[in-house]
Structure 1
Amino acid sequence: MSHDGVGPRAVARPVAFLTAGVLVLPALAGCSEQDEAGRPSAGQDIAAAERDRVADGGTLHWAVDAVPETLNTFQADADATTSRVAGAVLPALYRLDVNGRPQRNPDYLESAEVVEREPRQVVLYKLDQQAVWSDGREIGAADFAAQWRALSGKDTAYWTARNAGYDRIEKIERGANDLEVRVTFKKPYADWQSLFTPLYPKDVTGTPDTFNDSARRGLKVTAGPFTVDEVDRASGDVTLKRNPRWWGRPAKLSELVLRAVPRDGRAAALAAGRLDLAEIDASQARRITSAGREGKAAQGAPLTHGPGAALTPGRALRSWAIAHGSDEEAAEEEITARKKRARAALKYAGQQSSLRGFTVRRSLEPSFTQLALNGSEGPLADERVRRAVARALDREELAEVVLKPLGLPAEPVGSHLALAGQHAYADGSGALGGQDTEEAQALLSDAGWVAGGPVKKEKKSKKAAGAERSEGADGTGDDGAYIVGGTDDKPGGRRGAGPGDGGAVLAPAPLAEVQRTALLVQAAELDGRRVAGKDGDGGKPAEKAEKTEKSEKAEKNLAQDGAKRLGPGAPGAYAPKGTAAPGRAAAGPLARNGKPLSLRFVLPSGPGSQPLRAVGERIARMLDEVGIRTQISKVADDSYFKDHIASGEYDLALYSWPASAFPATDARPIYAKPVPAADGSLNVEQNFTRVGTDQVDQLFDQAVAELDPEESRALVRKADARIWAAAGSIPLYQRPQLTAARTNLANAGAFGFQTPFYEDMGFLKKS
């Protein structure tokens, strides 16, 4: 998942929630004014068009992250591309609408309902009369039964990643005729609509051998608008072709090619004509938007970005002077550099010209980014400290950091278990409370963390000491750590520039102190005297530095002169001595039992994770204001989740979860209370915060067994309130969804919640 964030791959709902959404269903359930779930924060953006406006034929090249290791979505190594293929070629009995709510798919089901509740829950499926597999065989009870046996968990020879829901089935039988399937449950199951999507043919699920192997490299038998034609690992293409046996609306496209292209190379691939549709990051979105604006400007107008855009007239003149100067060696180097810049600018300009044929479509993903607090050990094992962290956060401000620059609604997420628009959504954040600095400090004080407490000095290795001072060259490991706030007797506010963050300064000391320090240094230099920093820092005034009348006068003059030149309130203006600093000053460092309150904050270091780092750095500043210091450690993206989140090697971290239409089933392992395993380890399932309660588990169990939809949703909302109160994770914002699409491509783009209608995608007819 991850662009704005790095998140664990969810296997719980492989198709319906990771492939994103689609066109419009003929009839969709709306959100009433009284509906507590409300409406989605952002609508989909897919350039919707009627089918008669879409040309028949053509090939759509759609970017994916990788060629999938398997085409079986129920295996552990399935990924988002696996889900995308399944959505185009296999039956989905239910699909999500624009509000993220499940709707019966009429292409496969005439009806599906609970026909008995006592003594056992029975669901009767009535299949569409034309529903057949690509080999001509009718879809029927045998396919349902084979999938149930494979996923029930009873036969360990099947390599399955999950069995939730299937383990509650008692038997599957043929109904009154071949088009009816009767499913009997041994335990009530509220989320029965989540089952059999996707539905595989019995050719795949019938035996462990076929389940484990036959669907890894291809699917011979399918039942969707497309079929799998070829999986070419060498070229990185998965080619899907129009299904001649498809009984629904015929696919408009002749071919759909899923092409593996790294995210950082997608702008170039779009410009080269290798892609028609691609999810992109914010920087690529800005580039495509700029290309469109440049296309509307006068021909020959200079580029305002890219290679050479930063070459000011002064720099250009200097470059020309060196290239034509008397220093032959310098001239040769400058001429070579000028040629290199010219080639790069020419290439970039050509790409920009090609990118004018694309537009950026924007929505919000059906997933959210959260701040995870590891409650297994250390200060965060205390619920009061976790709650203090949460109360220190301004979640609206954090949402704005990521979403406002993209023109998307910057609304904080109010639930762990659903997103706005989905049935189970309700804002449960009131169970914890909003941003409140005083309340956060009171919670910390109650937990024994006090300002000014004695701190025991600990000997540090050279490596650890270096990690506090600056960030490693590669931004990874311990050498990539730096302190936000202060430790021991050292005030915070300094750090090294990290990769991708533009050298932004984190957690600065109060502004008045910075201004005064600068004035002291300058005044002392005027007096011919150096002001040495404590411990040889050189960036802070010595505690016992003496001022002469000359330095005091110089300080006053500098302050007045600076104020005149920059004007009142100008960034970086020097304030006269004694001027109060704007805003709140950071709280002093807290300590308990001789140890400072410092949390390790792990963030990914990759170029696509810059927005996540910006959020992390803003969080660190907020925590510093209540006295919580953070040690930010930037680690490589490929080890971020595996070596830190999953293994519990962190205090604070940011990652994302997909939102499910069936939270009673899918969210339980994410928030279940960890239990000791037989070998003495802790079984956390997917609860990487290690925070859980018996009450939350009980509410999930009740919700999944409650067949009344309203009662089940009420129980889910109660569970969410308990999760908020435990403060193991703090939902922040819904992730942005940015998609580059050809301007003539219809019914595809930023799908939001809705499941894609692959058969309606295509290129507009020329008019």
Structure 2
Amino acid sequence: MSLNRRAWRLAAPLAVLALLAGACGSSGSNNSGGAAAAPQTAGQADINPQDVSSLQQGGNFRWAINEIPPNFNYNELDGTLSDNADIINSLYPRPFFFDAAGKPTVFADYFTDVKLTSTDPQVVTYTINPKAKWSDGSAVSWEDFDAQFKALNGTNPAFQVSSSTGYSDIAKVEMGTNAQQAVVTFTNKFSDWQSLFSPLYPKAVNATPDAFNTSLTTSPGVTAGPFKYDSTDQTAKTVTLKPDAAWWGDKPVLGSITYVALDQAAQVQALVNNEIDYTNIGSSVNDNKTARDAQGVSVRQALAPDYRHLTFNGAAGSILSDKDLRVAVMKGINRDGIAQALLNGIAQNPKTLGNHIYVEGLDGYQDNSSVVSYDPDAASKALDALGWVKNGDTRTKDGKTLEIRDVIPTGVATSAQEAQIVQQNLQVIGVKLTIDTVPSAGFFKDFVNVGNFDITHFAWLGTPFPVSSSGSIYGKYADVQQNYGRIGDTSINDLFTQANQELDPAKKIDLANQIDKAIWDEGFSLLLYQRPQNHAVRSTVANFGSPGFGDVDYTKIGFTKS
């Protein structure tokens, strides 16, 4: 995906990265029963590529999501989730379009040219396609860039941003040769400059903190894409988009897209019952088998830059505020056992992920996780040394029981299974884990975002910019951004600053791995496994499925002719 910060998902649905109509891959119609292992080759997509001339014109594509987004502003803290990205990627401009290998090209529908025009100081010039118009008829202009920079640069905490990375390095945005050219000058070098202004919102959304925080809570508002917002049905829990007649690019094949909010546990059966056309089944063995056994359903697979993890809450006053305690607890959790239990039969050679910045398949990946290698004896000794004395089945210190609250969402089998394994592991070392299952609809907004947990687990979605998109998660700043566990220090912040300014790829990789080692040492989060991208789709759907590392071309999604 070309969005510039990581989104999160509850469980099976993942990847905000999307797909290319011309990307390589089979039709994915593997309905042989059981669960096939996902391929492990980066740069491939499995989307049933078809020429649009061979497809039916029109039709409603029913796309399962977990919840109607609480905010359609992806840059606002509550809006940075995959369900929202699935919707807005067809509605707003982006400077670049990414192929299945994560390689960018200028998104020509929106820009005729985007390039680095100076390195000292760093200057990027965006030349807007003169055909690009917002749905209210106004032209996309440099003022939209300027307003978004000012909202996201971190200088005004009233803007509830999910990340200021990159924008905080910009000095100014100016008009170029005309109003359809934005010239962005940086104070500090920012190597992942291609990630910025993606998505780009109209200037009114970014004009004031109130507009930024609340103006898109009920609908996407003014847009500029092949689709436009049509309606929301809160009773049926649907959001419907329809083609925008004013769209200047290739016309969409579909007549509408309806996003249907369903509990994850109900999605695959809804697909089997022909109530939806697509669900992301991820690493659920049961869902994979159900989808493969169903008539008229295909499971399409690709390697994705996304992963499951346990986030630890290290905020002051929390039971896990002690770094050494967090690391000790991590050593008591069998990550290999979790990966085997969750991925056996779903992925080839299930194994744990060892790097917070890079996933396997990306240059720079190396396993830095030895500090938390599974070792119950070492974990027990570390807890003893910290004064947590084992009394019977649990440990106490100063009259307080070592009890950890694991918050998970309802209806997500993956989270429940992980939690049960962690509970069993920690019982061995005298740590009591209480599993607190909360409503999935408010899981992030009411619990994760506000730090209402001791540990919690969900999936981080990768982007083509693994370093800069990680800064809002693992950096510690005055505002939370995406650091929900409130863990970190200035040395990690400084390393992110250096890495984001480093234009030499090899030096940037070295800095990124220094960051990762520091994150492990902090006991920030316990990575579990890289998630296979398993998408269950109605077999008649073309140009859609498992996208790998690429972007969706929403105009080419359609149904084959019967």
Q: TM-score, normalised by structure 2?
A: 0.80
For the Cα contact (< 8 Å) 1:603–1:632, is it kept in 2? no
For the Cα contact (< 8 Å) 1:11–1:161, is it kept in 2? no
Instruction: Assess, with a 3 A threshold, how the Cα gap between structure 1 residues 673 and 267 changes in structure 2: closer, same or farther.
Output: closer
Match of 1:632 among 425, 433, 446: 433
Structure showing the higher strand proportion among its residues:
2
Q: How far does residue 124 in structure 1 lie from its aligned partner after superposition?
A: 1.5
Match of 1:105 among 79, 102, 107: 107
Comparing 756-765 with 377-386, which one deviates more in the overlay? Answer: 377-386
Comparing 648-657 with 196-205, which one deviates more in the overlay? Answer: 648-657
**Residue 765 (structure 1) aligned with residue 543 (structure 2):** no
Q: How far does residue 401 in structure 1 lie from its aligned partner after superposition?
A: 0.9
Partner of 1:610: 413
For the Cα contact (< 8 Å) 2:331–2:374, is it kept in 1? yes
Aligned residue type for 1:47: N
**Residue 370 (structure 1) aligned with residue 273 (structure 2):** no
Partner of 2:36: none
**Residue 65 (structure 1) aligned with residue 66 (structure 2):** yes
Partner of 1:116: 118
Structure showing the higher helix proportion among its residues:
1
Q: How far does residue 91 in structure 1 lie from its aligned partner after superposition?
A: 1.0
Instruction: Assess, with a 3 A threshold, how the Cα gap between structure 1 residues 228 and 437 changes in structure 2: closer, same or farther.
Output: closer
Instruction: Assess, with a 3 A threshold, how the Cα gap between structure 1 residues 268 and 184 changes in structure 2: closer, same or farther.
Output: same
Deviations 1:585-630 (A, max 9, x none): xxxx8x7878898442525373x333333333333444455xx113
Match of 1:421 among 343, 361, 364: 361
Partner of 1:279: 280
For the Cα contact (< 8 Å) 2:67–2:262, is it kept in 1? yes
CA distance in 2 between counterparts of 1:749 and 1:692 reads 37
Match of 1:693 among 489, 494, 510: 489
For the Cα contact (< 8 Å) 2:272–2:291, is it kept in 1? no
For the Cα contact (< 8 Å) 2:300–2:546, is it kept in 1? yes
Instruction: Assess, with a 3 A threshold, how the Cα gap between structure 1 residues 372 and 130 changes in structure 2: closer, same or farther.
Output: closer
**Residue 657 (structure 1) aligned with residue 463 (structure 2):** no
CA distance in 2 between counterparts of 1:652 and 1:259 reads 29
Deviations 1:675-728 (A, max 9, x none): 7xxxxxxx7654344442332121012122334444333312210111122333
Instruction: Assess, with a 3 A threshold, how the Cα gap between structure 1 residues 145 and 740 changes in structure 2: closer, same or farther.
Output: same
Higher relative contact order (CA 8 A, sep 6+): 2
CA distance in 2 between counterparts of 1:668 and 1:19 reads 18
Deviations 1:151-196 (A, max 9, x none): 3455677665544433332222232355532111233223322211
**Residue 600 (structure 1) aligned with residue 401 (structure 2):** no
Listed as ranges, the matches of 1:54-203 within 5 Å are 54-78=55-79, 79-100=81-102, 103-118=105-120, 120-128=121-129, 130-134=131-135, 137-153=138-154, 161-177=162-178, 179-202=180-203
5+ long unaligned stretches in structure 2: 25-38
CA distance in 2 between counterparts of 1:744 and 1:77 reads 34
Q: How far does residue 133 in structure 1 lie from its aligned partner after superposition?
A: 3.8
For the Cα contact (< 8 Å) 1:169–1:183, is it kept in 2? yes
Aligned residue type for 1:661: P
Match of 2:20 among 20, 23, 38: 23
For the Cα contact (< 8 Å) 2:163–2:482, is it kept in 1? no
Partner of 1:583: none
Aligned residue type for 2:540: N
CA distance in 2 between counterparts of 1:593 and 1:743 reads 58
Instruction: Assess, with a 3 A threshold, how the Cα gap between structure 1 residues 423 and 241 changes in structure 2: closer, same or farther.
Output: farther
Deviations 1:96-135 (A, max 9, x none): 44345655423333432322233x3211223345444455
Instruction: Assess, with a 3 A threshold, how the Cα gap between structure 1 residues 427 and 216 changes in structure 2: closer, same or farther.
Output: same
Match of 2:552 among 729, 746, 756: 756
Aligned residue type for 2:227: F
Instruction: Assess, with a 3 A threshold, how the Cα gap between structure 1 residues 154 and 697 changes in structure 2: closer, same or farther.
Output: closer
Q: TM-score, normalised by structure 1?
A: 0.61
Instruction: Assess, with a 3 A threshold, how the Cα gap between structure 1 residues 631 and 437 changes in structure 2: closer, same or farther.
Output: closer
Q: How far does residue 88 in structure 1 lie from its aligned partner after superposition?
A: 0.6
SS of residue paired to 2:90? helix
Comparing 203-212 with 108-117, which one deviates more in the overlay? Answer: 203-212
Q: How far does residue 93 in structure 1 lie from its aligned partner after superposition?
A: 1.1
SS of residue paired to 1:636? strand
For the Cα contact (< 8 Å) 2:23–2:45, is it kept in 1? no
CA distance in 1 between counterparts of 2:60 and 2:323 reads 55
CA distance in 1 between counterparts of 2:178 and 2:445 reads 49
Partner of 1:289: 292
CA distance in 2 between counterparts of 1:373 and 1:157 reads 27
- Larger radius of gyration between Structure 1 and Structure 2: 1
Listed as ranges, the matches of 1:198-213 within 5 Å are 198-202=199-203, 204-205=205-206
Aligned residue type for 1:256: I
CA distance in 1 between counterparts of 2:484 and 2:222 reads 38
Partner of 2:336: 396
Aligned residue type for 2:434: S
SS of residue paired to 2:552? coil
CA distance in 2 between counterparts of 1:756 and 1:380 reads 40
Q: How far does residue 762 in structure 1 lie from its aligned partner after superposition?
A: 0.6
Aligned residue type for 1:192: W
Deviations 1:258-277 (A, max 9, x none): 23333343345435533222
CA distance in 2 between counterparts of 1:110 and 1:422 reads 29
For the Cα contact (< 8 Å) 1:367–1:658, is it kept in 2? yes
Instruction: Assess, with a 3 A threshold, how the Cα gap between structure 1 residues 245 and 709 changes in structure 2: closer, same or farther.
Output: farther
CA distance in 1 between counterparts of 2:443 and 2:172 reads 43
Aligned residue type for 2:56: A
Match of 2:518 among 700, 703, 722: 722
Partner of 1:742: 538
Instruction: Assess, with a 3 A threshold, how the Cα gap between structure 1 residues 374 and 48 changes in structure 2: closer, same or farther.
Output: same
Instruction: Assess, with a 3 A threshold, how the Cα gap between structure 1 residues 668 and 43 changes in structure 2: closer, same or farther.
Output: same
Partner of 2:35: none
Instruction: Assess, with a 3 A threshold, how the Cα gap between structure 1 residues 721 and 159 changes in structure 2: closer, same or farther.
Output: closer
SS of residue paired to 2:420? helix
Partner of 1:704: 500
**Residue 357 (structure 1) aligned with residue 296 (structure 2):** yes
Aligned residue type for 1:666: S
Partner of 1:488: 391
Partner of 2:252: 251
Listed as ranges, the matches of 1:222-237 within 5 Å are 222-237=223-238
SS of residue paired to 1:256? strand
SS of residue paired to 1:60? strand
CA distance in 2 between counterparts of 1:748 and 1:656 reads 21
5+ long unaligned stretches in structure 1: 1-9, 28-37, 293-355, 450-454, 456-486, 493-588, 676-682
Q: How far does residue 758 in structure 1 lie from its aligned partner after superposition?
A: 0.7
Instruction: Assess, with a 3 A threshold, how the Cα gap between structure 1 residues 443 and 43 changes in structure 2: closer, same or farther.
Output: farther
Partner of 1:733: 529
Percent identity of the aligned residues?
30
SS of residue paired to 1:62? strand
CA distance in 2 between counterparts of 1:687 and 1:67 reads 23
Deviations 1:305-352 (A, max 9, x none): xxxxxxxxxxxxxxxxxxxxxxxxxxxxxxxxxxxxxxxxxxxxxxxx
Aligned residue type for 1:417: I
Deviations 1:472-509 (A, max 9, x none): xxxxxxxxxxxxxxx634xx6xxxxxxxxxxxxxxxxx
Aligned residue type for 1:93: P
Instruction: Assess, with a 3 A threshold, how the Cα gap between structure 1 residues 194 and 386 changes in structure 2: closer, same or farther.
Output: same
Instruction: Assess, with a 3 A threshold, how the Cα gap between structure 1 residues 444 and 373 changes in structure 2: closer, same or farther.
Output: same
